[in-house]
């Protein structure tokens, strides 16, 4: 056979054909990071982000003029995102039906970035099984004055208690102040069961150690404690998705972490959008393989 030698290396297929305008616009003044930097970050991490984000109804934090200017939380489709951002009609509490957004590929992520998105938040269920949650998250919110070491200890305690009832869990740095403890679940149970379980688990933790944990939203009761925010687990609530950037100073990102690796971390904002390469290497390492995935069902309580 006549095989022609390649004259030059084949250019890799672009991850997205979405055009990013105003690449030089500064989005993170403290980090001096631009919209182009943010788009490049998302293009790089899309392959490790999509297994978590794809096909979940998404809410976006959009800051078209940058994080220091006005930002807004967008749940509904305004119809201006183009063909890569999809809609799903969802019945809301009041009986009305609204179109929610979701993405399923790098184009979808980048189309959102083009529209000024910094943060991607996701539902605890997928569009195909909307009424069957498959991700429980305990959002650990430390009161001001607590150290990150206290949050790490709290996360490890939750992990242990969850393991005692047969549930595997995973830790994620929020990119802000806290840690999210994530429990993947097979779809099948209802939102009511999901929320009820999360509430009872958080309340049991705070009953056992009332000096450390609180499970109610009331600010007054949170002094010096860690709020185990279980309210992320209601139908319609969202949580920040793995590898999402945060609209906070320094351009931090939400990062999956293995339980052993957590010990060496001293802040929830350890990585930023400048760290795409390191995050991809970490994601491919044996300690993070399978992070966020487990076949398990909600135990009866
Ligand atoms: P931190 O570690 O700093 O607490 P976080 O992402 O956990 O970071 P929280 O303030 O605890 O931030 O919020 C928890 C979740 O609530 C967010 O991840 C997000 O999905 C949701 N949320 C935040 N802002 C809004 C908003 N304006 N409207 C609706 N939901 C929101
Ligand atoms: Mn939080
Ligand atoms: Mn919270």
Among 267, 284, 246, 257, residue whose Cα is nearest residue 38: 246
Average pLDDT of the chain is 94
Q: Indicate if ligand 1 lies below 6 Å from the C-beta of 240.
A: yes
> 141 alpha carbon to ligand 2 midpoint, in Å?
5
Query: pLDDT at residue 298 above 90?
Result: yes
78, pLDDT greater than 70: yes
**What six digits make up the tokens of 265?**
């971390």
pLDDT tier for residue 16 given thresholds of 50, 70 and 90: confident
Could you tell me what percent of the chain has a pLDDT over 90? 89
Q: What is the pLDDT of residue 19?
A: 95
> What gap in Å lies between CA 62 and CA 67, rounded to an integer?
9
Question: Could you tell me the pLDDT band of residue 1, with boundaries at 50, 70 and 90?
Answer: very low
Residue nearest to atom 24 of ligand 1 (CA): 73
Neighbours of 274 (CB within 10 A): 16
Q: Alpha-carbon distance 56 to 58, whole Å?
A: 6
Instruction: State which of 135, 176, 243, 268 you would mutate to test the pocket of ligand 1, scoring each by most atoms of that ligand within 8 A of its C-beta.
Output: 176
Nearest CA to ligand 1 atom 28: 73
Q: Which domains does the chain have, with CATH numbers?
A: 26-123+238-284 (3.90.920.10), 135-233 (3.30.70.3300)
pLDDT of residue 11: 55
Answer whether residue 154 shows pLDDT above 80.
yes
Do the beta carbons of residue 121 and residue 239 sit within 8 Å? yes
User: What is the rounded CA–CA span in Å between residue 256 and residue 258?
Assistant: 7
CB of 134 closer than 6 angstroms to any ligand 1 atom: no
**Which tokens go with 144?**
């001001």
Q: Are 242 and 184 in contact (CB under 8 A)?
A: no
Residues 6+ apart with CB under 8 A from 39: 20, 23, 110, 113, 114
**pLDDT, position 12:** 59
Q: Which ligand is nearest to the CA of 217?
A: 3
Residue 151 has pLDDT above 60, yes or no: yes
Q: Which two tokens stand for residue 96?
A: 């009305």
Spell out where the chain has E strands: 26-28, 33-34, 58-62, 72-74, 86-91, 97-102, 117-122, 135-142, 170-173, 179-184, 213-214, 226-229, 239-240, 255-257
pTM over 0.90: yes
Q: Please, which pLDDT band fits residue 13 given cuts at 50, 70 and 90?
A: low
Phi, psi of 295 (to 5 degrees): -90, 110
Pairing outcome for strands 135-142 and 117-122: unpaired
What is the tens place of the pLDDT at every residue in 25-51?
999 999 999 999 999 999 999 999 999
Tell me the percentage of the chain whose pLDDT exceeds 70. 95
Place 275 in a pLDDT band, splitting at 50, 70 and 90: very high
Cα-based angle 121, 132, 202 (whole degrees, multiple of 5): 70
pLDDT, average across residues 118-146: 97
Quick check: 213 and 222 in contact, CB under 8 A? no
- Indicate if ligand 1 lies below 6 Å from the C-beta of 178: yes
Q: How confident is the model at residue 92 (pLDDT cuts 50, 70, 90)?
A: very high
- 2 pLDDT exceeds 60? no
CA of 176 to the centre of ligand 2 (A): 7
Is residue 119 in contact with ligand 1, taking CB distance under 6 Å? no
Using alpha carbons, select from 83, 63, 55 the residue that is nearest to residue 248.
Answer: 63
Residue 217, pLDDT score: 84
Chain segment 114-127, per-residue pLDDT in tens: 999 999 999 999 99
């Amino acid at each position: 056979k006549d095989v022609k030698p390649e004259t030059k290396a084949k250019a890799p297929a672009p991850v997205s054909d979405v055009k990013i305008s105003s690449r030089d616009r500064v989005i993170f003044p403290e980090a001096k990071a631009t919209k182009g930097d943010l788009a490049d970050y998302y293009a790089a991490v899309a392959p490790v982000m999509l297994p978590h984000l794809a096909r979940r109804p998404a809410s976006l934090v959009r800051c078209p003029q940058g994080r220091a200017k006005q930002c807004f939380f967008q749940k509904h489709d305004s119809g201006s995102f183009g063909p890569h951002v999809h809609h799903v009609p969802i019945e809301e509490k009041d009986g009305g039906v609204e179109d929610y957004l979701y993405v399923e590929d790098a184009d979808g992520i980048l189309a959102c970035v083009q529209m000024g998105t910094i943060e991607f938040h996701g539902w605890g269920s997928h569009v195909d099984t909307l009424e069957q949650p498959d991700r429980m998250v305990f959002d650990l919110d430390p009161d001001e004055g607590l150290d990150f070491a206290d949050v790490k200890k709290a996360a490890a305690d939750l992990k242990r208690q969850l393991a005692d009832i047969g549930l595997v869990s995973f830790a994620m740095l929020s990119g802000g102040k806290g840690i999210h403890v994530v429990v993947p679940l097979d779809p099948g149970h209802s939102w009511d069961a999901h929320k009820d379980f999360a509430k009872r688990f958080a309340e049991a933790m705070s009953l056992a150690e009332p000096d450390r944990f609180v499970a109610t939203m009331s600010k007054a009761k949170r002094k010096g404690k860690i709020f185990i925010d279980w309210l992320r687990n209601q139908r319609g609530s969202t949580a920040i998705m793995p590898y999402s950037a945060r609209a906070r100073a320094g351009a931090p990102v939400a990062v999956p972490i293995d339980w052993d690796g957590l010990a060496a971390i001293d802040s929830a904002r350890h990585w930023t959008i400048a760290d795409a390469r390191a995050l991809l290497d970490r994601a491919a390492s044996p300690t993070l393989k399978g992070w966020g995935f487990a076949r398990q069902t909600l135990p009866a309580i």
